[in-house]
Amino acid sequence: MRARLTNEGLSVANLSAGIDDGRLTGLFDVKNNDGTGVMTGQATLAGIDVSRLPGAEALSGKANISANLNTSGKSVEAMVAALSGTGTAALSDVTVRGINPAAMPALIAEADRIGRDIKEETVAAFAPSIAGEGEFAGGNADISFTLAGGVLRSSPLTLTAQGTTLSAELRADMAEWNIAASGEVVYDPGNEALVGSQPSLNFSLEGAPGEAALAFDTQPMAQFLTQRALEIEQARVEAMQAALLEKQRLRREVRYYAMLQQARAEAEAERLRLEEEARLKAEEEARVKAEAEAKAKAEEEERLKAEEEAKRKADEEAKAKADAEAKAKAAEEARVKAEIDARVRAAEEDAARAKADEERRFKLEEAKRLKAAQDAQAAAEAAAREKAAAPTQGEAAAPQGASEPLVDMAGRPPQSGEVKRPPAPVGTEQKPEQPGFSLERLFRSLGGGG
């Protein structure tokens, strides 16, 4: 165990202690909050003998119990009254003293001894002593419980032994130190089962631990035994009535067989008459059916023949229509193809004519440009000759070796024997080149596009 005491309170962890043959483990914190005690904790009690628990003296077995608890209050009594939390308990080899799981045969035997005079008071007189003799070995069970306001309440506890079922709910008031339990013991009726009633005893227990006594409520068992006695009496009366009815039945049977013989003869005659009528009726129905089937067969053959003829005509019409549509489609495709071919040829002819017109126009323009260029060249040469014949004052004749050879309009150097033309005078303004003119284009036009 590890404990720590501070100004705030006491804290205990790793608590482990032996209690009888079990072991307690857990932890808790206790604090003083301005005069109010506050406690929280967790505890596990393992392997404890159930009979050592407060108020469980009539039980035996082992239990493993775990719980989470918390409370607060100005005093210990107030903290006990304010306890809250949850927990579980796993019980093993549980035995309850004072409840007999095999009491049903003895209860039935006592009820049979009393007979049809049995009632609730007589059952209350003998049932508790029989049901309270013995021990109920219920085996193992798991329950859960809650704590609120210092009161512990358990979930239903169910135990089974020798076909008998015990169910109970537990309650414990910590502040008042009082325990209470209530439940039911349901026996297996076996062959004595009744509709609408079952053999059971209610029980209750309340008081301080060690002082509470078990009390049985026999009303459900009294109802079962009373109903059983009534049904037994009813069966006896019914047996007497059955004997009387059997005598009456035998008398009726003699009369019945006599009447039966007569009825059989009448029935045989009626059967023969009905068979003959049925035979004649069947023959008539067979004839009518055969005629109807023959008529239906002829009508069906006529219908099939008409359908076949209609189908043949429809196929011929569909074929003719398809042939006409194919011819029309072929004619339309030929017409469209002819139109397209004509349009293509017209377009090609228009393009050829346009190309020829363009070439003629281009050649005329090139010829005009060539003539204009030759005229300009001739004028320039004439001006140069005039200027060379009468040089202006202060100008010096250019050295013979420094003169540049002249070229014709085609850009060719002068041939031998040709008169050299003087260069164009310096400073003479040159005419701008005609737009679109070039020697290459001129040679192409003169050479036929080569």
The DSSP bridge pattern shows strands 2-5 and 9-19 to be antiparallel
Looking at residue 437, what is its pLDDT?
52
pLDDT of residue 141: 92
> What's residue 167's pLDDT?
94
pLDDT at 221 over 90: yes
Longest dimension (CA), the chain: 187
Structure tokens that stand for 5 in this block: 């005491």
pLDDT the model gives residue 11: 86
Is pLDDT at 397 greater than 50 in this prediction? no
User: Percent of the chain, pLDDT > 70?
Assistant: 86
Question: Other CB atoms closer than 10 Å to residue 4's CB: what's the count?
Answer: 11
Evaluate whether 164 touches 130 at the Cβ level (below 8 Å): no
Judged by DSSP in three states, 97 sits in strand
If pLDDT is split at 50, 70 and 90, which confidence band does 431 have? very low
Residue 249 binned pLDDT confidence (cut-offs 50, 70, 90): confident
Query: Closest Cα partner for 149 from 101, 79, 239, 59?
Result: 79
The whole-number pLDDT of residue 282 equals: 94
What pLDDT was estimated at residue 430?
Answer: 47
d(CA 195, CA 231): 11
Residue 411 burial by CB count (10 A; 0-12/13-18/19+): exposed, middle or buried?
Answer: exposed
Cβ(424)–Cβ(386) below 8 Å: no
pTM of the model: 0.52
Task: Kindly compute the dihedral angle of the four CA atoms of residues 298, 304, 309, 315, in this order, to the nearest 10 degrees.
Answer: 180
pLDDT band at residue 284 using 50, 70 and 90 as cut-offs: very high
- Asked whether the predicted pLDDT for residue 208 surpasses 70, the reply is yes
Choice among 20-24, 182-186, 212-216, 417-421 with the minimum mean pLDDT: 417-421
At 398-424, the pLDDT tens digits run 444 444 444 454 445 555 444 445 444
Q: Amino acid identity, residue 333?
A: E
Instruction: Give tens-digit pLDDT for 181-198.
Output: 999 999 999 888 888 889
Question: Distance between CA 299 and CA 109 in Å, rounded?
Answer: 87
Q: Is the dihedral of CA 325, 331, 333, 335 positive or negative?
A: negative
If you search the block for the tokens 């193992």, which residue do you land on?
A: 140
Separation between Cα atoms, residue 223 and residue 234, nearest integer Å: 16
pLDDT of residue 443: 58
Distance CA 199, CA 202 (A): 10
Residue 185 contacts residue 99 (beta carbons within 8 Å)? yes
Per-residue pLDDT tens over the stretch 114-155: 888 889 999 999 999 999 988 999 899 999 999 999 999 999
Question: Please, what sign has the CA dihedral across residues 229, 230, 231, 236?
Answer: positive
Instruction: Tell me what the pLDDT averaged over the chain comes to.
Output: 85
Overall average pLDDT of the 242-257 stretch: 89
Residue count of the chain: 450
Looking at the predicted structure, is the pLDDT value of residue 441 above 50? yes
d(C-alpha 269, C-alpha 341), whole Å: 104
Q: Helix-strand-coil percent breakdown of the chain, rounded to 5? A: 50, 30, 25
Residue whose structure tokens are 């017109």: 357
pLDDT in tens, 36-71: 889 999 999 999 999 888 888 888 999 999 999 999
* CA–CA distance, 147 with 227 (Å, rounded to integer): 42
Q: What is the pLDDT of residues 334-384, one digit of tens each?
A: 898 888 888 888 888 888 888 888 888 888 888 898 889 888 989 998 989
What does the pLDDT read at residue 19? 83
Is the C-alpha dihedral spanning 302, 304, 310, 315 positive or negative?
negative
Please indicate whether residue 212 or residue 421 has the higher confidence score (pLDDT): 212
Angle, alpha carbons 311-315-317 (nearest 5°): 115
Q: Collect all residues with Cβ–Cβ distance below 8 Å to 223 and sequence separation of at least 6.
A: 120, 197
Nearest residue to 215 (alpha-carbon basis) of 51, 58, 49 = 58
Q: What is the C-alpha to C-alpha distance for residues 189 and 193, in angstroms, rounded to an integer?
A: 5
Q: What was the pLDDT predicted at 391? A: 57
Q: Domain map of the chain by residue range?
A: 2-217
User: Among 176, 218, 182, which Cα is nearest to 200's?
Assistant: 218
**Cα distance between residue 131 and residue 283, in whole Å:** 81
> From CA 168, how far away is CA 170, in angstroms rounded?
7
Whether residue 438 has pLDDT greater than 90: no
Residue 351: per-residue pLDDT: 86
Tell me how far apart the alpha carbons of residues 202 and 221 are, in angstroms, rounded to a whole number: 9
